[in-house]
């Protein structure tokens, strides 16, 4: 849902992206910096500094938009960059939620369900798109929504509630995406005999 807003933000950031690109910093370096910021966010959650963890999640989201904008501005869009970005996004998500669990800021069961849902939202999209089904904008909890939900919950001091919502809504999004994929692929064919 917020991916449409992300495209608008990416356009608005074009002047910043051109400036960053002119320094010689590559999109992949920005991706790695964003990942490192997410690890620091996780550390803040681990030591129960929810507010600061939430602020750093916002910064992680900024780097997530900036790397793509710089790739376009510098003409360095690459398939490898896309793979690296997606991979580090999953590690970031799991590191942050894992740190929230280890920091005692949520019930471990809800935390595990949130981790599973977050990964499966991305997996179902990747697998469905491999089969030719467009999945952009399908479901409530794409990555931007997940980051905003956790940020708001942390800034308000209700990280535990954010994790419960994340667990419920990400797994619901998986069901939405599976339904969309099934419609896009048609009825299953009978097994060969």
- Show me where the domains of the chain are located: 3-184
CA angle 61–62–68, rounded 5-degree value: 95
Instruction: Report the pLDDT value the prediction gives residue 188, as an integer from 0 to 100.
Output: 60
For residue 1, the model assigns a pLDDT of: 58
Fold of 3-184: 1.20.120
Q: What is the mean pLDDT of the chain?
A: 91
Per-residue pLDDT band for 189 (boundaries 50, 70, 90) equals: low
- The pLDDT > 70 percentage for the chain reads 92
Res 190 pLDDT > 60: no
Cα–Cα distance for residue pair 21/36, rounded to 1 Å: 20
Query: 56-95: b or e for each residue (b if 16 or more CB lie within 10 Å)?
Result: bbbbbbbbbbbbbbbbbbbeeeeeebeebbeebbeebbbb
Residue at token pair 């807003």: 5
Q: Give the pair of three-digit tokens for residue 169.
A: 């809504």
Instruction: List active site positions.
Output: 89
**69 pLDDT more than 80:** yes
Per-residue pLDDT tens for 96-119?
A: 999 999 999 999 999 999 999 999
Residue from 145, 138, 92 nearest 119 by CA = 92
pTM for this structure?
A: 0.89
């Amino acid at each position: 849902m917020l991916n449409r807003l992300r495209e608008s933000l990416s356009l608005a950031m074009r002047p910043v992206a051109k400036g960053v690109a002119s320094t010689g910093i590559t999109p992949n370096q920005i991706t790695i910096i964003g990942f490192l910021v997410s690890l620091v966010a996780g550390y803040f959650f681990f030591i129960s500094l929810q507010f600061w963890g939430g602020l750093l999640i916002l910064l992680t989201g900024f780097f997530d938009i900036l790397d793509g904008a710089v790739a376009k501005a510098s003409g360095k869009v690459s398939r490898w960059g896309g793979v690296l970005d997606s991979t580090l996004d999953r590690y970031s998500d799991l590191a942050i939620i894992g740190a929230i669990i280890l920091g005692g800021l949520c019930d471990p069961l809800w935390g595990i369900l949130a981790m599973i849902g977050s990964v499966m939202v991305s997996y179902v999209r990747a697998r469905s798109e491999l089969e030719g089904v467009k999945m952009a904008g399908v479901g409530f909890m794409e990555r931007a929504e997940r980051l905003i939900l956790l940020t708001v919950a942390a800034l308000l001091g209700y990280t535990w509630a954010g994790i419960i919502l994340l667990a419920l809504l990400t797994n619901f999004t998986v069901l939405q995406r599976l339904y969309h994929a099934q419609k896009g692929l048609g009825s299953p064919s009978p097994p060969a005999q």
